[in-house]
Structure 1
Amino acid sequence: MPAPQSTVPSAHAPAERAPRREFPPLTPGPRLRAGAASATVWYLRLIAVLNVLAVLSLPFRQEVHEHNTSKLFNQEHPHHHVGAFFTPYLATGGLVSAALAIFLMLVMRRRKRAAWLTNIALAGPLLAVYVIGLITQDRYADHVFNWVSAGLTGLFVAALLIGRREFNAVGDPSNPKLALAVGAGGLLATGGLGTLLVHATNKLPGAHLTDEIVYTYLRGISVGIFADRIDHVHAPRWTDITVNALLAAAFCLVLYACFRSPRGKQLLTAADEERLRALLDKHGARDSLGYFALRRDKAAVFSPSGKAAITYRVVGAVSLASGDPIGDPEAWPGAIDAWLAEARRHAWIPAVMGASEEAGTVYARHGLDALELGDEAIVDIADFTLEGRPMRVVRQAHNRVKRAGYTVRIRRHEDIPAEEMAHLIDRADHWRDGATERGFSMALGRLGDPGDGRCVMLECRDGDDQPRALLSFVPWGEHGLSLDLMRRDRDCENGLMEYMVVELLLRAGDLGVQRVSLNFAMFRSVFERGARLGAGPVLRLWRSVLTFFSRWWQIESLYRANAKYRPVWEPRFLLFAKSSDIPRIGLASARAEGFLTLPGIGERS
């Protein structure tokens, strides 16, 4: 039995050191930094509201003016009221200050580094002036409001310093030059219009042009007391507000040009396309929209292992991806992390259009929320038949067009001679509805490219052997096709598209095709469930709204056209980070799909 060990320390044993006291680090923690950054955003929101209220509230402005002239100064100097008391940072009672506060709030919320530097450059020296004034000027220190203003500004500067590491989103290198150009043009244009308006509405005689110009630009800063000392100029209240609004609008353009996010200069390179094609060769059968990742107006970001990728396009500061990630599903998280990191670095809003349920689940693990957009119509060739009562309408349309002498020719793009392909491209451009090429998430955006030889072309000709319509499908793995392009002559036989789709489905086996993805039906479940017996009032109302808008956009008609073939419906989802970003994501999606064209400042082609 071993002897018990003595608990008495030996004389020769080294003495045990007392436990070292650990002090908390001096640098703020992540929660404190995030809280300080959020505080700066809320401060700017409050200042924006106060500025707007000061512009719209005449009694408030008069009360401040009387307070300045009667309480803070001796009656011997009734006009010496400029700088009577301090106001907190960005609180000047003008729309320009409100616009600046709103823009800074928006870009600070997106953690832009340029916005943080701007606030430090403005608020830091202003705080120094406040402190010096309170120390050296007794008439300022006697009023409590000046202490409150300096305190609020000091807290704002402190929050900026504490949360500085939170603001790491980069801007566009061209922003300063563009902002200077826009600012110079905006000041000249709005200043000229404002001066004309002041000249036309001035109530006092003897004003010089210089006085009116100075009055205009001072009113652009504030509708308060800044311009009241200009002799021989007194404009109505509505003129002051109009001038202030004009300068605020010009200032908004300057701020937009200064703080806009990078546009995403690097699009799909030849090396990226080669890597994506290699991933599609291995995993292209997983997603019917996978081949559309090869659009050359997208950029690609790869996982660290290179086994997965996400393609996206930046539209209006929205990083818009489409479909599922390309490649091995086990590598999807790495690609999603890389894509989200790039979006955060550039202050882009991340969004995904048309993701499948499997991909939506993976995106949800990375903090994105899902909203069902609609359903994709997929026809299994083995289950398709024209027999039976449910297919009577399709069968009759097919037989009618066939009796009219129309024929369909199905070929791979690589099997079409160059001259014929050029003629088909010319016909497709001629039949296009509108001047804009539409499509982004479910369209390739090109026709006849040498790299797309495995695409399938359906060419429909009439009895005189003239082309009247065409369909183009992109590969969906080795045994699938996904609809890309659908064009027809407006004067052709009714039901021609149904005839072509049926011909493809009946002859798909000759191409080794086992499944075909047709059009996407947005909000399909609303139309289907809203027409059922027992549908609730909210669902019926939502269906009525969509039916009304279907007069201009093909919402219900696409669902009805796809339902004829009795397909399998696969849901597709919109992924987003914040619900408040959905309107902006919708606008970016409409622009990307070609349904909306907006003018931009300094847009790159």
Structure 2
Amino acid sequence: MSITGERPVETREEISPRWVRPPSSRRAVARLVQFVGAASAVFSALPPRHHRFSLLADMIPTAGLITARVAAAVVGVLLVYLGSGLRRGKRRAWQLALVLSLIGVAAHTVKGGLVPTIFAGGIAALLVARRDDFTAEGDRRNRWRALRACATFLGAGFALGFAEIAVRVNHLDGRPGVLTWAGHAALGLLGVTGPVHFRSPLGGLTVSITTGAFGLLAFVSGALLLLRPSTGTCVAGTGGDDDRARLREMLDRHGDDDSLGYFALRSDKQLVWAPSGKAAIAYRVINGVSLASGDPLGLPSEWPRAIGQWLTDCAAHGWTPAVLGCGTSGGKAYRKSGLDVIELGDEAIVAPARFSLDGRAMRGVRQAVARMRRAGYTCAVLRQRDLPPETLAEVVSCADALRDGKVERGFSMALSRLGDPADADCLLVLCRDEAGELRGVLQFVPWGRRGLSLDLMRGDRTAPNGLTELMVVSAIEAAGALGVQRISLNFAVLRSVFARAEELGAGPVIRLWCRVLRAASRLWQIESLYRANAKYLPDWQPRFLCFPSARDLPRIAVAALSAESFLPAPGTPATIAARVRRAGPAA
């Protein structure tokens, strides 16, 4: 389903740059580089033909020929890997591809092979001719990471090569000195035979293979680290407190339109601001995808400028822009900036003033709530700021104990923390049994000044059926006294498919699509979330996914699943540990 209706007020193109699709020539170069890389790897695996380049074969020792074949294969694999970076216009990918192509020319010349040599030379010439197509910046921190990795592998290879020469000191021709040993080990890292001669060919071959392998590892690891996608500067880093203060002030003024606005305060989200500072985009970079969530923040008239800054940043770094779960207004603004928009699902919105447990449609919820209250379960609904410190500590401990698994899921519609003093306006629903033991916790984050958005839902699985219904109904019933006029519950992915499949006269395509989603619900809670929301008879508000082109959808889907913690998120152990510390004990 596409967005329909009136477009936002037109603004000048220079104020709101549109997303420009990468030139087709850049994609063609990337594909050619990948093809040549695959061909290079295949040619390297084929049996050698000794009648080719026989002169070079006589001049280069066996170890050098083996190293050349391995180097050609590694170069081919790396060229295939570089294709994705070239498609995104990464300058560093272009530099590495050019260097690898030249190395490929040398390696294929040494090992023998006219066709792959011509291919590698042609790719090098093409890259030089199209150098202006690759201007996206990389992460400067990757240079030092690559340098450290190269130094580590080169140092280890040198030490092992030197040690292997030392243990064979009695099997060397002549009496070469220690400096000669060091020169031989250093040249071996480059795949070149050094000045030390061994009486046994096996000894020399062993040293050459050891040093050559570590040299290749140093080169490969450095190349891979240089190509790691840039992630920008996190809000939690330098200047993060100022950005957070500005963002909270902005949400207080203009946060009534989007129920997901408060989730922009997650510690793993970054911000890009409009030049006026009156609007911003919250996003996170995952595997080269700049994943934003919800509508732009701030003054709607400044949204185009904020989107323009974000898209410019994406183009400068070679990121693929995508928006997860924006509303209708945000979807129109993103579509105007050049992104495609499709419906992702629906958000359940409950108006407490119109909510009632009466009627046949609410019989299931009414019975569940009555059953829990007869069993002695009670709920307290209050702001976090009103909780005594010992009670808040109990809530955090209970939520941590009741979490299903070790991973805190959520990105676009979850705060992933509990008990932070900065979240004093959050609303908590605490459900206790007849003995006073805490059995369930709900957390709602502020939605502007008159709304709440469901964030955290934890319940004891050993409690009687109806615990969740009791907590949700208690929050809705207490909303009037708290001045709350609307409550956002869970998001239902592709809800319209289930709803349309239940209608009279649903077509075969809808019914087939519904069966596919029900099968997928065995792994992910797709249908169950829809049913859990529908029982409260909410109003359904559509949410959309924005993306540059259909070919980017697989990468965007992987990035979104990683952000929502359905797939392992990238990061070093140190960054993961820091993320856990920032999220607090409930994460």
Q: Would you call these one fold, judging by a TM-score over 0.5?
A: yes
Amino acid at match of 1:312: Y
Cα RMSD (Å) of the superposition?
3.6
Match of 1:462 in 2: 433
Counterparts of 2:220 and 2:342, CA distance in 1: 33
Matches within 5 A, 1:204-219: 208-212=202-206, 214=208
User: One-letter code of the match for 1:403?
Assistant: R
Matching residue of 1:97: 75
State which of 142, 146, 152 in structure 2 corresponds to 1:175.
142
1:106-185 matches, within 5 Å, as 106-121=84-99, 156=123, 159-183=126-150
Aligned to 1:480: 451
Distance 1:93 1:315, change over 3 A: closer
Where do 5+ consecutive residues of structure 2 fail to align?
Answer: 1-19, 62-67, 161-199, 579-587
CA shift at 1:588, angstroms?
A: 2.1
Matched, 1:265 2:259: no
CA distance 1:54–1:462, shift in 2 (3 Å):
same
Q: What are the superposed Cα offsets for residues 529-588 of structure 1, whole Å, 9 maximum, x if unpaired?
A: 234444344433332232223223221111111000111111111212232332222222
**Number of residue-to-residue matches in the alignment:** 505
Aligned partner of 2:550 in structure 1 is 579
Alpha-carbon distance in structure 1 between the residues aligned to 2:150 and 2:503: 58
Shift in alpha-carbon separation, 1:582–1:467, aligned structure 2, 3 A: same
Q: CA deviation at 1:527?
A: 2.0
Preserved contact between residue 47 and residue 91 of structure 1 (Cα < 8 Å): no
CA contact (8 A) 1:530 1:539 kept: yes
Q: What is the letter of the counterpart of residue 41 of structure 1?
A: A
Alignment of 1:38-77 (within 5 A): 38-55=27-44, 58=46, 65=49, 68=52
Work out whether residues 259 and 452 of structure 2, in 8 Å CA contact, stay in contact via their aligned partners in 1: yes
| Per-residue deviation, residues 252-305 of structure 1 (Å, max 9, x unmatched) | 544321211222233241111111112112211100111111112211111111
Offset at 1:450? 2.3
- Which residue identity does 1:338 align to in structure 2? Q
Instruction: Please identify the structure whose Cα radius of gyration is greater.
Output: 1
Determine the structure 1 residue equivalent to 2:400: 429
Normalised TM-score (structure 1): 0.75
Query: C-alpha separation between the residues in 2 aligned to 1:211 and 1:283?
Result: 71
Distance 2:216 2:491 in 1: 43
The answer (yes or no) to whether the contact 2:439–2:459 under 8 Å persists in 1 is yes
Check conservation: 1:52, 1:93, Cα contact below 8 A: no
State the shift of 1:434 in Å.
1.5
Structure 1, unmatched stretches of 5+, are 1-30, 84-89, 134-139, 193-205, 221-245
**Would you say the 8 A contact 2:89–2:136 is kept in 1?**
yes
Contact 1:378 1:515 in 2 (8 A): yes
Superposition pairs of residues 440-451 of structure 1, within 5 angstroms: 440-451=411-422
Q: Tell me the amino acid that sits aligned with residue 164 of structure 1.
A: R
Residue equivalent to 1:334: 305
- TM-score, with normalisation over the residues of structure 2? 0.77
CA pair 182-214 structure 1, distance change in 2 beyond 3 A: same
Following superposition, the deviation at residue 165 of structure 1 comes to: 3.4
Indicate yes or no: 2:532 matched with 1:561.
yes
- Distance in 2, matches of 1:97 and 1:248, equals 10
- Decide which of 388, 410, 415 is 1:417's aligned counterpart: 388
Of 224, 230, 235, 1:256 maps to 224
Q: Is the 8 Å Cα contact of residues 178 and 602 (structure 1) preserved in structure 2?
A: no
AA in 1 matched with 2:432: R
How far residue 479 of structure 1 moved from its aligned partner, in angstroms, is 1.4
How far did residue 449 of structure 1 move?
2.2
- CA separation of 1:468 and 1:154: change in aligned 2, threshold 3 A: closer
**Which digits, 9 at most, give the CA deviation of each residue in 1:171-223, with x for residues without a partner?**
2223234334445667879xx9xxxxxxxxxxxxx7513324546888x8xxx
Paired with 1:331 and 1:444, the residues of 2 have a C-alpha distance of 25
Q: Which amino acid aligns with 2:468?
A: M
Contact 1:103 1:255 (C-alpha < 8 Å) held by counterparts: no
Alignment of 1:384-423 (within 5 A): 384-423=355-394
Q: How does 1:192-591 map to 2 (within 5 A)?
A: 208-212=202-206, 214=208, 253-268=221-236, 269-591=240-562
Q: Percent identity?
A: 45
Asked if structure 2 preserves the Cα contact closer than 8 Å seen for 1:99 and 1:251, the reply is no
Change (3 A) 1:481 1:49: same
Counterpart of 2:235, as a letter, is L
| Structure 1 residue 392 displacement after superposition | 0.8
Q: 1:510 to 1:441 in 2, by over 3 A?
A: same
Distance 2:98 2:413 in 1: 45
Specify whether residues 503 and 37 from structure 1 end up closer, same or farther in structure 2 by C-alpha distance, changes over 3 A only.
closer
Question: What letter corresponds to residue 203 of structure 2 in structure 1?
Answer: L
Residues of 2 paired with 1:413 and 1:126: CA distance? Answer: 63
